[in-house]
Structure 1
């Protein structure tokens, strides 16, 4: 079996590529930055996994039109080539943010999409175009909506939280109570492989998430445990925190409205649909196990630097 991956140099791409290579599956990079990328579509590949895209900019400084040029237009062009090729499966990695920036209750595939950011809107418009095309016989389209992905080599808010705990800084947002879904890179890789190998999985939209949810306070406790530290949780009044983030929206402070939202909101994502499609009861790693593995990787990386 052979596959092509766009965005293979990114966090998800690197891990997914290594996962398949370890299983003896041939993987080819397809760099969409190459002006001649259209000439390098491999007709012998069984699947085309499209990871390349413009990520969400939490500083909100990115040009909104660039999201649509990369996340929508480039995806459409790639998919049109796929339709004319001999490749069987097309995986488009969208995002739960193509559906909702905030979630009341549990997010499943039936929730009506209402993204508020250029990132989410560009992902949704790409989804809508792909879903409206007629698939030739023998081809499948999988639109994957992952929640927050993590694993060794991961950067982002989870890494930021780790550094706060590592430095012994008390977690000042303990007054916010939330439940969040996460997705370990190991579970993501497992699901992609299982979908490719199961010919009974139908084309469509699928959420990717771990089976359980954790709160930010639970994450602080877990990080502290891995580091051998006592968890420091401060319940500073929420009203005061909101004043601070308003200042952070204007000045370059570590905390602004966007980052506060990511760190404290509840965002629960259902993975029931994909588990039913694959006829499985649970994913290989629990949310706790996956997060502990990621946190351990932060710890070892710090030691290497020291």
Structure 2
């Protein structure tokens, strides 16, 4: 099966290609605006904003996995979220139609639900709080409308929560790095639940959809259970790394005040800061989601949640091989 992974040069795409390339079942193609350091021989440089560039590259492809996205908290200008995430979706669908491709797997996000929601399922109303979440929801709506006139297509949408794992340099890594360095300070009481997804499991689920979910329009939250609260995450990290974690806790309002201070500093200096009001808000928010549908689909995660955390910590901070 010839599969095009659009946006496969990043963290998730690289891990997914690494997994799927072990099977002779797949003929993989990576389309990305950046060269893949790991898989340069199967990578073709193109941007989802350029439909004309996508069309010839998709010749002979049977399924598309769309990973390309603007996702950082500090993307500027904010219009880039909508250019890449929404118009990129339209361009991809139109290029697929030209080439007669009728299968797409799209990685959306639980960000479409907004913050501090009570364990939302896939049927929960969308209420995104930032431009990333809003643009992902708009991209899903593009897909919904497309499917109304393309009922013979197979659409699989995955809404993962925050993804972590060895090689990742996102928010979870930054948090673990602060804990490991001894510079961590808890903001709030630490009782807020944090749903997370281990990279080894999310890429296995994407492959599962390729093989097992070949018809209809399907939407799945993806979360590895059980959900840790922030205190649990700090405790497990300290235990695995065998370090003592500072117990100082800063009230939420002081943390937000500091976040706004860094926002002002970033605006003045035109530099991106590791701390911002958005990141403080996300850190203290309840981000807990229901994944019953995914876990009832026949998929079995290869790794337990705590095992995934242990693998990441060992590789990134203890420099062990796994």
TM class, shorter-length: 0.7 to 0.9
| Separation in 1, partners of 2:6, 2:15 | 13
Kept in 1: contact 2:115–2:129 (CA 8 A) = no
Question: Any idea what the Cα deviations from partners look like across 1:243-292, whole Å, max 9, x if unmatched?
Answer: 3233223224653211112222111111112233x235x52222222122
Who is 2:269 aligned against? none
| Separation in 2, partners of 1:180, 1:31 | 31
Pairing 1:46–2:62 present: yes
Pairing 1:266–2:283 present: no
| Separation in 1, partners of 2:86, 2:131 | 11
1:262-301 alignment runs, 5 A limit: 262-276=282-296, 278-280=297-299, 282-301=300-319
Q: 1:115 to 1:28 in 2, by over 3 A?
A: same
| Separation in 2, partners of 1:113, 1:170 | 33
Who is 2:71 aligned against? 55
Unmatched tracts of structure 1, length 5 or more? none
Kept in 1: contact 2:6–2:66 (CA 8 A) = yes
| Separation in 1, partners of 2:19, 2:31 | 17
Pairing 1:219–2:219 present: no
Who is 1:6 aligned against? 6
Kept in 1: contact 2:54–2:92 (CA 8 A) = no
Kept in 2: contact 1:109–1:205 (CA 8 A) = yes
- What is the RMSD computed on CA atoms of the aligned residues? 2.3
TM-score by length of 1: 0.88
Kept in 1: contact 2:156–2:219 (CA 8 A) = yes
Unmatched tracts of structure 2, length 5 or more? 34-44, 267-272
Q: 1:199 to 1:159 in 2, by over 3 A?
A: closer
Pairing 1:209–2:223 present: yes
| Separation in 1, partners of 2:289, 2:215 | 20
Question: Paired residue for 1:112, among 117, 125, 128?
Answer: 125
Who is 1:155 aligned against? 169
Question: Any idea what the Cα deviations from partners look like across 1:166-204, whole Å, max 9, x if unmatched?
Answer: 222243326232101101111111111222222466422
Moved more, 162-171 or 212-221: 162-171
Question: Paired residue for 1:234, among 239, 248, 256?
Answer: 248
Q: Say how many residue pairs are matched.
A: 296
Who is 1:135 aligned against? 150
TM-score by length of 2: 0.84
| Separation in 1, partners of 2:110, 2:6 | 20
Moved more, 32-41 or 125-134: 32-41
Deviation at 1:241, TM superposition (A): 2.8
Question: Paired residue for 1:195, among 188, 209, 219?
Answer: 209
